[in-house]
Amino acid sequence: MKVIGNEKGAMLLMKEFLQEIGQDKHALMSMFDSIDDLVFLLKVDGNSFRYVYINKKGKRILDYPGEIIGRKIEDIVSRRMAHSLLEKYQQAFNTQKAVYFEETITGKNGVPMIGETSINPIITERDKCEYLLSIVRDVTDRRTHEFQLKTTQRRLVRNQKRIESLFKHNHEAVFELDLQGNFISINDAGERLIGYNEDEIIGRSSFSFVKEEDRNRVETNFANVLNGQTRDYEIRTYHKSGRQLLLHIRNIPIIVDESLEGIFGIASDITVKREMEKELERIKNELQLVWDNTSDGIFLLSQKGRILTANPSFLNMFRYSAEELRNIASPFIFPPHDMTNQQVFLERLRSEKEILEIEVQRFTKTGKVLDILASYRPINEGDILAVGMYKDITERKKMERQLEESEKRYRKIVDLSPEAIMILKRRKILYVNQTGEELLQQSHKDYIVNHFITDFIHKEDQGKAEQFLSDIEEQMVEDSESDTITIRFIRHDGKAIHTELTAALVENGGDKVIQTIIRDISERIEHEKHLSYLAYHDPLTGLLNRRAFNDQFKDSIMEANRNNQILAVFYLDMDNFKEINDKLGHDVGDQLLKEFANRLERTVRGKDLLCRVGGDEFLILLKNITDKKDVIDIASRLHEIVQKPYEISGKKIQVTSSFGISLYPDDGTTPRRLIHHADVALYRAKKERNNYSFY
């Protein structure tokens, strides 16, 4: 007989074993009882197996209430467990090989035991398996320890992943320092915060990122962390771009087994937050300044209509102290006839509706009635219903009444003014006086008022007038200096009249309007035009005078120089004018000069210049000449035309004329030199009379 095991050559033949113990069954049983494992010997019984032996440990663990020996597996254990065990025993029986498995055995008092079981078939000399030896080793403690170890490992891995996730995905900058304050690690948020990448940070001292002025304070806090304390503090540092940052730092000691191994850090950018705090503080201070120093009365109104608190201006306005105000109800300031309205406006505020800039009357402590411009804005925060603002307009209302009376008197004066007056708003005529009607020759104000002023302005001047009025409006300062413009108005009969329009921004009934004064300057314009004409023209012939001729001569020289052209200057006079003037009189002489000038004007081209120098002397400037031959042709034609007889006052008069001619640029490059050379040529021509000569 032999026992089949799982280790090759490891099991002794049962027969030899029995021989060694002298086939002493008692000794065999004692041996099984002495081991710490559960030992079961089962006999093959058809398709089942019957217990023939159980050692003491097995009996103690199973604690079966009845006798086990001689009973089958399915009689001892539950159906589910019996099914599983029978499969294992059947496998060992069929294969004649040991079967190993773990099972959970419910032992004494229902306490489970994890058993590491081996089922070993016992083979007889006839190579038959009639018995199976089952040995169950209690591995409960080992498996429990292994399970706890795995659970702990999983928990450690999970915690590590949590820490890594907290580190990696945290929106705040998270970093780890060694005990010298050098960076060991930093998350992405930390890199973004200061602009450096991980390679530029790891290994560097955290103190190197701290502004010099904060270094001592940071080192002090770091020393406290090394002593196991968590510290919160603020530092100033610089982003890689050079921008200064204000950071809140929390340092947490990393303590493992009561030993400090490093330091965790969390950094938050509080730059914007601190700036906002400063801004809020500034706004708070400014609001307090407004509350304390504004000339308007400001107060908080309760849900019941009481005044909870008020600023100094309100107290001064109504002559109450802060203490008096707290001890009385607010309706005291409402006149008796306005008490109903007080309840109405409280309901309006409770429904979140604003009450803005209404004119009301209120009582002071002394009983004086004040005209008030009141505004209420609902708040509805706890007992606070609204904030109110009172502007004392008593003096203003008094002045308005006086102004109204003054305006009535002023309107009468304006209506009777000898100058045309219009009041405009956005180009529309709001008012025109009687003189304005007469200026435009309209029979009634209705044909002017509510029309745009540009409807009465000459089309060519409308753009200029629009710009002028826009400039006045943009001043936005009433009573600013007035401006003046010259424009043409169109009368009802269609005639254009020259006017001088003076405008200024003024207030009219609370509105900004433009007040205009319009003067008819048509006669002055005509006179100025005549004076301007005389300044540049000969009064007898209407030709250009020497001044105008010289001005245009300069421009002609520049033009000829640009275009590479010739200019010709004619200096001419009448050969016998003095004799005619002395003989026939100055009137005939003047008429002869006019006729002579007319012939010259009809002969020269429109682009040429013609000038009376004085007496019977004239200058002609021929422009755009390309060939001297053209000058000769014009000179010949002029000479022929001017010597034809003149008929003046019924008398035929024969005159001759001499010309002196100079050419630009050959004879000179300045008006003065060219005229002088033409005069020299004239002198030469007059020696022969009735002739023309080039310089």
Supply the CATH classification number for the domain 537-694: 3.30.70.270
Q: Where is mean pLDDT largest: 202-211, 333-342, 533-542?
A: 202-211
> Residue 452 — very low, low, confident or very high, per pLDDT cuts 50/70/90?
very high
**What is residue 6's predicted lDDT score, i.e. its pLDDT?**
42
User: Residues 672-683: pLDDT tens digits?
Assistant: 999 999 999 999
Q: How far is CA 13 from CA 19, 50, 54, 102, 119, in A?
A: 10, 23, 21, 26, 16
Q: Cα-flanking dihedrals φ and ψ of residue 479, to 5°?
A: 60, 20
Residue-wise pLDDT for 368-386, tens only, equals: 889 999 898 998 888 899 9
pLDDT tier at 330 (50, 70, 90 boundaries)?
low
Average pLDDT (472-496) is 80
For residue 180, which phi and psi values (nearest 5 degrees)?
-95, 0
% of the chain exceeding 70 in pLDDT: 92
Is residue 633 classed as helix, strand or coil in its secondary structure? helix
Q: How far apart are CA 671 and CA 561, in angstroms?
A: 13
pLDDT given at position 347:
85
**170-274, superfamily in CATH?**
PAS domain (3.30.450.20)
Q: Residue 13: which pLDDT band, with cuts at 50, 70 and 90?
A: very low
Q: Is the separation of the CB atoms in 260 and 254 below 8 Å?
A: yes
Question: What's the confidence (pLDDT) of residue 22?
Answer: 45
Compute CA distances 170 → 187, 198, 466, whole Å.
Answer: 8, 16, 64
Q: State the DSSP code for 438.
A: H
Taking the C-alpha atoms of residue 175 and residue 231, their distance in angstroms, rounded to an integer, is 15
In this structure, what is the dihedral angle of CA atoms 347, 350, 354, 357, given to the nearest 10 degrees?
50
Q: What is the pLDDT of residue 283?
A: 85
Sheet holding 307-310, edge to edge: 307-310, 297-302, 384-392, 369-381, 355-363
What is the model's pLDDT at position 301?
87
pLDDT of the residue at 16: 52
Structure tokens at 112: 């489970």
Q: Which tens digit of pLDDT belongs to each residue from 580-634?
A: 888 888 899 999 999 999 999 999 988 999 999 989 999 999 999 989 999 999 9
Give the Å distances, CA to CA, from 489 to 277, 406, 482, 523, 527.
63, 31, 20, 14, 19
Do the Cβ atoms of 692 and 658 come closer than 8 Å? yes
User: Which token pair is 565?
Assistant: 């052209």
DSSP-assigned letter for residue 84? H
Confidence class for position 5, pLDDT limits 50, 70, 90: very low
Q: Which of 37-41, 364-368, 417-421 is the most confident on average?
A: 37-41
Token pair of 503 as six digits? 């405008």
Contact between residue 185 and residue 237 where contact means Cβ atoms under 8 Å apart: no
Phi then psi for residue 135, to 5 deg, are: -120, 125
Domains of the chain by residue range: 2-138, 170-274, 295-392, 398-525, 537-694
Contact 362, 333 (CB under 8 A): yes
Measure the CA–CA gap between 61 and 545, rounded to whole angstroms. Answer: 148
For residue 205, the model assigns a pLDDT of: 93
> Which pLDDT band, with edges at 50, 70 and 90, does 60 fall under?
confident
The CA radius of gyration of the chain, in Å to the nearest whole number, is 62
Instruction: Place 690 in a pLDDT band, splitting at 50, 70 and 90.
Output: confident
Other CB atoms within 10 A of residue 346 CB: 19
Torsion over CA: 312, 317, 322, 325 (sign): negative
Residue 637: is its pLDDT beyond 50?
Answer: yes
Region 560-578: what's the mean pLDDT? 92
Mind giving me the DSSP string for 639-658?
HHHHTS-EEETTEEE---EE
Stronger pLDDT, 442 or 510, i.e. the higher one: 442
Q: Which of 84-98, 216-230, 392-406, 618-632 has the lowest mean pLDDT?
A: 392-406
Of the given ranges (243-247, 413-417, 437-441), which has the lowest mean pLDDT?
413-417
Assign 9 a pLDDT band (cuts: 50, 70, 90): very low
Q: Is 482 exposed, middle or buried (0-12, 13-18, 19+ CB in 10 A)?
A: middle
Q: Which residue has the higher pLDDT, 471 or 341?
A: 471
Which of 138-142, 190-194, 332-336 bottoms out in mean pLDDT, i.e. has the lowest? 332-336
| Residue the block writes with tokens 């008094």 | 398
Domain made up of 398-525: CATH architecture: 2-Layer Sandwich (3.30)
* φ and ψ at residue 209, rounded to 5 degrees: -90, -5
Please tell me whether residue 51 adopts helix, strand or coil conformation.
strand
The reply to whether 2-138 and 398-525 are identical in fold is yes
**What are the φ and ψ backbone dihedral angles of 503, each rounded to 5 degrees?**
-135, 150
Mean pLDDT of the chain: 86
Cα–Cα distance measured from residue 544 to residue 534, given in angstroms and rounded to the nearest whole number: 9
Range 2-138: architecture per CATH: 2-Layer Sandwich (3.30)
At 152-198, the pLDDT tens digits run: 888 888 877 777 777 777 888 999 999 999 999 999 999 999 999 99
Q: Is the dihedral of CA 576, 577, 580, 582 positive or negative?
A: negative
Interacting residues of 480 by C-beta distance below 8 A, sequence separation 6+:
504, 505
671-688 and 546-563 helices, crossing angle to 10°: 110
Average pLDDT over residues 470-496: 81
3 state SS of 186? strand
Residue 547 corresponds to which tokens in the numbers above?
């001044």
User: What's the confidence (pLDDT) of residue 649?
Assistant: 85
**Above 80 in pLDDT, residue 456?**
yes
User: How would residue 530 be classed by pLDDT, with cut points 50, 70 and 90?
Assistant: confident
DSSP 8-state symbol, 294: -
How, if at all, do strands 496-508 and 609-614 pair?
A: unpaired
Point out the least confidently predicted range of 68-77, 502-511, 635-644. Answer: 502-511
pLDDT band at 337 (very low <50, low <70, confident <90, very high): low
589 neighbors 577 (Cβ within 8 angstroms): yes
Query: Percent of the chain at pLDDT above 90?
Result: 42
CB 204 within 8 A of CB 177: no
Judged against a pLDDT cut of 50, whether residue 1 lies above it is answered with no
Confidence bin at 119 (pLDDT 50/70/90):
very high
CB 505 within 8 A of CB 454: no
pLDDT digits (tens, 9 = 90+) for 90-118: 999 999 999 999 988 877 677 888 889 99
Cα–Cα distance for residue pair 278/203, rounded to 1 Å = 36
Top-confidence residue, 424 or 346: 424
The answer on pLDDT for 12 being more than 50 is: no
pLDDT at residue 416, as a whole number = 67
Helices (H), 351-458: 394-415, 434-440
In sign, the C-alpha dihedral spanning 308, 314, 318, 321 is positive
Q: What's the CATH code, domain 295-392?
A: 3.30.450.20
- Quick one: pLDDT band at residue 45, thresholds 50, 70, 90? very high
The DSSP result for 349-379, as a single string, is HHTT--EEEEEEEEE-TT--EEEEEEEEEEE
